[in-house]
Amino acid sequence: MKNTKLIVKTKSKSYPIYFGKNILEQMDKLMKKNIPGVKKICIISDNKLSKILLNKLVRKLKKYDLKIYKLSASEKNKSLKVANKIIEQLLKYNFNRTDCIISLGGGVVGDLSAFISNLTKRGLKFVNIPTTLLSQVDASIGGKTGINTNQGKNLIGTYYQPDFVLSDVAILKSLPQREMIAGYGEILKHSLILDKLFFLWLSKKGKKIIYERNDRLLVEAIIKSCKIKSKIVAKDEKEKNLRMILNFGHTFAHGFEKAKNFSKKLNHGEAVLLGMMIASELSYQKKLLTLHELFLIKNHYIKFNLPRKINKIFKQNEVNKIITYMKKDKKNINEKINLILLKKIGKTTKPKTISLKAKEIKKFLNSYYS
């Protein structure tokens, strides 16, 4: 399979994403090419990954002064407490701005590592090796770092672009099926918000991508998805306006995740899939989306067995909790809840144009239980 490179251009920095199969083998060369001055490296790794994978990376980096920090990829660890602990270690080992942090993990490890890289000595070098489908198509692009608090998800964060990203589909082989579905949710989102042809292509190839993990189609879907996200991020790095369309389904999703207290019962990608289905149904109710297009989306969910029914995941008495957390979303600018809805497949409403009263959203969610 041919390796491919995509350059993500933002106002603050341009950087490459490398795609392919078994490209972790090229890590030493890519380090030298992109960040030649690095001496010390701290690998922050998900402790659930196979030793073989970590050892492979360590072998490729044997010329560097290496530290390894392993942690469990739980939302609870995306915290200031854990960030502070790692920063203290980096300072103790005298990491400076020419030294580097490598994230080896999914979105949890990536968001935390990027945050730490940004804050330590006002910016260390940062390389992301996303190991989940979700992080390959979403979390590793665009430079958002994120920390959770007791008040909600990702409420603390900065923007910090990496020096490069290495996206290797071979790493996805060990990923549980549930996580493949979760990652597919963000691929589907990119098609729904900006590219109907991509949506139609996914409708044909979805099974081979999600369930058969066909390498060639998987790489194709990942690249297409990254191109869509990077195009948006290039125009609006700091989410002043256009980038908000990437939040399609996410305002609901954040409410869902927090209402389940970030438990494994509902992961981020599943919450996003559920949120997008509800946002599509709300788009139809608001007479923005046609019934035909709503059917196309619903059929896609049914065909690929994607989570779509809120009443199967939440009891009705949890709706209030969901609404409480949706009200805390950082994109809200007044008491109302801001949403991105669909006008058609491939086109969303303009950011900041749809804001609904909590009461109205509550009524809509409650309608799933009657």
Ligand X SMILES: NC(=O)c1ccc[n+]([C@@H]2O[C@H](COP(=O)([O-])OP(=O)(O)OC[C@H]3O[C@@H](n4cnc5c(N)ncnc54)[C@H](O)[C@@H]3O)[C@@H](O)[C@H]2O)c1
SS3 31: helix
Instruction: Note whether 343 and 283 are within 8 A (CB).
Output: yes
Among 106, 185, 206, 249, binds ligand X (CB under 6 A): 106
* Residues of this chain, 35-64, that bind ligand X according to CB under 6 A: 46, 48-49
Which H or E element spans position 9?
strand 4-9
Judged by CB under 6 A, the number of residues near ligand X is 29
Under the criterion CB under 6 A, does residue 120 sit at the interface with ligand X?
Answer: no
Q: Smallest gap, in angstroms, from Cβ of residue 37 to ligand X? A: 26
In the complex with ligand X, the residue whose CB is nearer, 118 or 154, is: 154
Residues 177-216 that bind ligand X (CB under 6 A): 179, 182
C-beta nearest to ligand X: residue? 107
8 Å CB contact between 121 and 163: no
Does 232 engage in binding with ligand X (CB under 6 A)? Answer: no
DSSP bridge pairs for 45: 70, 104
Cβ partners under 8 Å of residue 200, min gap 6: none
Distance CA 3, CA 219 (A): 10
Neighbouring residues of 168: CB distance < 8 A, sequence distance ≥ 6: 20, 21, 22, 23, 24, 129
The yes or no reply on residue 146 touching ligand X (CB under 6 A) is yes
Whose tokens are 């409708």? That residue is 203
- How far apart CA 73 and CA 267 sit, in angstroms, is 12
Which is nearer to ligand X, 138 or 293 (by Cβ)? 138
Instruction: For residue 234, give Cα distances in angstroms to 108, 160, 250.
Output: 23, 14, 21
DSSP string, 15-56: EEEEEESSGGGGHHHHHHHH-TT--EEEEEEETTS-HHHHHH
Binding region for ligand X (CB under 6 A) out of 21-29, 34-42, 134-142, 300-308: 134-142
From the list 35, 119, 170, 175, which residue makes contact with ligand X (rule: CB under 6 A)? Answer: 175
Task: Characterize the bridge pairing of strands 164-168 and 152-156.
Answer: unpaired
When binding is defined by CB under 6 A, the residue of 174, 177, 305, 353 that contacts ligand X is 174
Beta bridge partners of 15: 8
Q: Does 299 bind ligand X (CB under 6 A)?
A: no
Is residue 273 a contact residue for ligand X (CB under 6 A)?
Answer: no
Residue 139 touches ligand X, criterion: CB under 6 A: yes
The stretch near ligand X (CB under 6 A) out of 5-13, 175-183, 196-204, 208-216 is 175-183
**At closest approach, how far in Å is the CB of 107 from ligand X?**
2
Q: Decide if residue 154 touches ligand X (CB under 6 A).
A: yes
Binding site for ligand X (CB under 6 A): 46, 48-49, 73, 75, 78, 105-109, 111, 131-132, 134-135, 138-139, 142, 144, 146, 154, 171, 174-175, 179, 182, 268-269
